Amino acid sequence: MKEFLKTNTVTYNLMSFTGFKSILIFSLLLEGPKSYSELQEILKNHEYLHETISSDTLRVYLNSLREIGCKITRKSKNGVTRYSIDSHPFVLNIDEKQIPSIIKVYKALTQSIEVSDLLALQQFFAKISQYIQDDELKEKLSKVSPLYNIDSKIITDLMACAQNNWEITVQYNSLSTGNKYKNITILADKLHISNRKLYLSGVNSEYDTYASFLVSNINNIVSINMHNRTLDVPKLTVSYEYSKDDNEKFELLSCEKIINEENNKLTIEITSNNKFDITQRILSHSTKCKVISPDDFKAHIISTLKQMKEGYIEKH
């Protein structure tokens, strides 16, 4: 052990000189491949060390690094052999017991945040998952986000389009019509998650109707018209009653508001450009829900329910 220079960070005069050289060599090899002579040069010119170290001594340091779990590779080019650290025991090591907890909290969080934050969160966990050894857990983690398997570039572009109400043409995998890919022009309105799937809602220019498109079916964005246009689609407002259970927390959508609450009976108003979305919402509430107005929408729900009923009677 040597007397050592005082530095701004060290308040004691004494330190482990061998320890210092060990960490220095470790850091140098982690930075990139170095030959013995390059290491010797650096150690010799180091402001604290100024020490000539033999190749034999360096070999002992490298052996010791291997001993503690560093994977050191050796490559020769033009007669010069260089060494570098490929892996070491101090990388992030996520305990398998932590992963189910991470998945659970991640799942809960995905239901409460905006698409942009969800995308960031997904990318963060994708980065972290490289440190998970178990492939099954790694896969589970990757599938938590509803944005799983969707090109993040497409999501980012669609976010900008929806924010500015730009008109875009997308190549859409229209399975329903049997056309493998079809160009659709949409005046983008919003990007949203429904039933754990990401949708782009907007006006379908071909039919001039408001619709939702599964983003996972968008192959690519063909063109963007950056002149923002005003969305001029008639909105539908539906009022319905909902009978709540004691202690039930009604999950209000962003397009809904409670206009009256009496005992456990809520009167809710839902507004959307998309009749289909409202229909699905009402039907999912089933027995707890009754549409109050408008009359034509009420008639639509009754006729849908009658059709469903007939579907069961006819077959059996």
Partner 1 sequence: MKNTKKLNEGCLKIFRLLQLLYEDKAEYNDVIEIFMDESYDQTPNNLQVNINKYFNTLKIFGIKVKKEKNKFKLLSGLYSMYFTMDDLKSISLIMSYLNYFPEIDMTQNIEKFLESIEIRMNNEDKKTISIMNTNPNYDFSFYYSDIREQIAHCEQICKENFFIVVLYKKNGKEHQCKCTAKEVLYNSKTAYLKVYEANSMQNLEIPIGSILAINSLPQKSTSMEMSTTVVYKLKNRLAKTYNLKENERTNGIDEKGELIVVNKNEDFDNLISRLMRYAGNCEIMSPKPIREKMQAVINETLANYESE
Task: Write out the binding residues for partner 1, residues 42-101 only, by CB under 8 A.
Answer: 59-61, 63-65, 67-69, 89-90, 92-95, 97-98, 101
Among 41, 114, 134, 261, binds partner 1 (CB under 8 A): 114
How many residues in the shown chain lie near partner 1 by CB under 8 A?
Answer: 95
Nearest CA to 51 among 152, 188, 176, 61?
61
Q: Which stretch binds partner 1 (CB under 8 A): 36-44, 76-84, 114-122, 204-212?
A: 114-122
Task: Write out the binding residues for partner 1, residues 149-178 only, by CB under 8 A.
Answer: 175-176
- Beta-carbon contacts of residue 252 (< 8 Å; ≥ 6 apart): 258, 268
Q: Does 304 bind partner 1 (CB under 8 A)?
A: yes
Q: Which residues pair with 241 in a beta bridge?
A: 267, 290
Instruction: Dump the DSSP string for 187-217.
Output: EEEEEEEETTEEEEEEEETTTTEEEEEEGGG
Task: Write out the binding residues for partner 1, residues 266-285 only, by CB under 8 A.
Answer: 279-281, 283-285
Q: Which is nearer to partner 1, 82 or 140 (CB)?
A: 140
Q: Does 10 bind partner 1 (CB under 8 A)?
A: yes
Q: Which is nearer to partner 1, 97 or 227 (CB)?
A: 97
18 CB burial (10 A radius; 0-12, 13-18, 19+):
exposed
Query: Are 270 and 256 spatial neighbours (Cβ–Cβ below 8 Å)?
Result: yes
Q: Does 287 bind partner 1 (CB under 8 A)?
A: yes
Q: Which stretch binds partner 1 (CB under 8 A): 162-170, 198-206, 220-228, 238-246?
A: 238-246
User: What is the distance between the alpha carbons of residues 296 and 261, in angstroms, rounded to a whole number?
Assistant: 25
